[in-house]
Amino acid sequence: MYIIVLLLFVITFLFGPQWWAQYTFRRYAKPLDRLQGTGGELARHLLDRFEMSHVKVEKTDPNSDHYDPTDKVVRLSPDNFDNKSLTAIAVAAHEVGHAIQDHRNEPLLAWRGRLAIFANAIQKFGVAAMMVMPVVTAVTRVPALGGLLFFIGIGSMFMATIVHLITLPVETDASFNKALPILESGYIEAEDIPKVRRILRAAALTYLAGSLASLLNLWRWIAILKR
């Protein structure tokens, strides 16, 4: 019984934020005629309004909304690019919020980018360490060396989660210091403000939700190594 409760707790902890974010996005994805334009149109309008005409707006894969500071592109999933829904305009405004951070050279966004590159490199190194660990242990017959490689691999997988935890203020700023004041300035009606707040909160937690879900890789590696 205790094992089942613990398992349910772990699953809820790892996947709960992701499920909640996706539920929130779907809940407010219904097209509304009263909105002034699609997510893609709003993103283009806001970029021009804030003197960022050099930043492009492109359609990308589903559930892959993001701002690319290297290529200077706001990328929106098909539903958010083409639809006139609260989710579409809130997510578009959130990603434009990141573009504003970049345009203003705000240090948190640049710091997150550097930290993410470092984390990705460390994570790849950690995966390699986990893959060669059984071979190294068998060849050298030194269990301590295998244990060292194991802890290197585990530590690297935590790195992505740590990156997203540390950089959560970047997402919060894009949602509530950038996107929300913009949308409240005449782009949405008063009755829609609480709903948009929920969507922007979900958008801010998307990175963290994905990172928590990625921790499942630890359980997969441990299960593989126990075989």
Residue 181 has pLDDT above 80, yes or no: yes
149 vs 76, residue with greater confidence? 76
Per-residue pLDDT, averaged over 198-223, amounts to 72
Give the pair of three-digit tokens for residue 24.
Answer: 């929130």
Residue 221 has pLDDT above 60, yes or no: no
pLDDT at 202: 93
19 vs 55, residue with greater confidence? 55
Distance between CA atoms of 199 and 21, rounded to whole angstroms? 8
Distance between CA atoms of 31 and 211, rounded to whole angstroms? 30
Distance between CA atoms of 196 and 28, rounded to whole angstroms? 9
127 vs 201, residue with greater confidence? 201
What pTM did the predictor assign? 0.80
In 10 A of CB 189, how many CB atoms? 11
Residue 161 has pLDDT above 60, yes or no: yes
Of the pLDDT bands very low, low, confident and very high (cuts 50, 70, 90), residue 129 is confident
pLDDT at 163: 72
Residue 175 has pLDDT above 80, yes or no: yes
Q: Which residues pair with 66 in a beta bridge?
A: 75
**Residue whose C-alpha is closest to residue 112's, from 66, 75, 152:** 66
Helix 86-103 to helix 107-140 angle (10° resolution) is 90
pLDDT at 8: 66
Alpha-carbon separation of residue 122 from 14, 42, 119, 153, 168 (angstroms): 22, 37, 5, 9, 20
Length of the chain: 227
Please report where in the chains the tokens 């709903």 appear, as a residue. Answer: 195
In 10 A of CB 91, how many CB atoms? 30
Give the pair of three-digit tokens for residue 221.
Answer: 């590696």
Q: Contacts from 62-70 at CB under 8 Å and sequence distance 24+?
A: 63/22, 65/91, 65/94, 65/95, 65/203, 66/95, 66/98, 67/95, 67/96, 67/98, 67/99, 67/102, 69/98, 69/102, 69/109, 69/110, 69/113
- What values do phi and psi take at 13, rounded to 5? -65, -45
Distance between CA atoms of 166 and 224, rounded to whole angstroms? 30
Per-residue pLDDT, averaged over 192-216, amounts to 83
The average confidence (pLDDT) of the chain is: 84
93 vs 161, residue with greater confidence? 93
Residue 227 has pLDDT above 60, yes or no: no
Instruction: Catalogue the active-site residues.
Output: 95
pLDDT at 179: 98
pLDDT in tens, 26-42: 999 999 999 999 999 99
Residue 196 has pLDDT above 70, yes or no: yes
Give the pair of three-digit tokens for residue 102.
Answer: 């970049």
Distance between CA atoms of 83 and 220, rounded to whole angstroms? 38
Task: Give the best-scoring range by mean pLDDT among 121-135, 153-167, 197-211.
Answer: 197-211
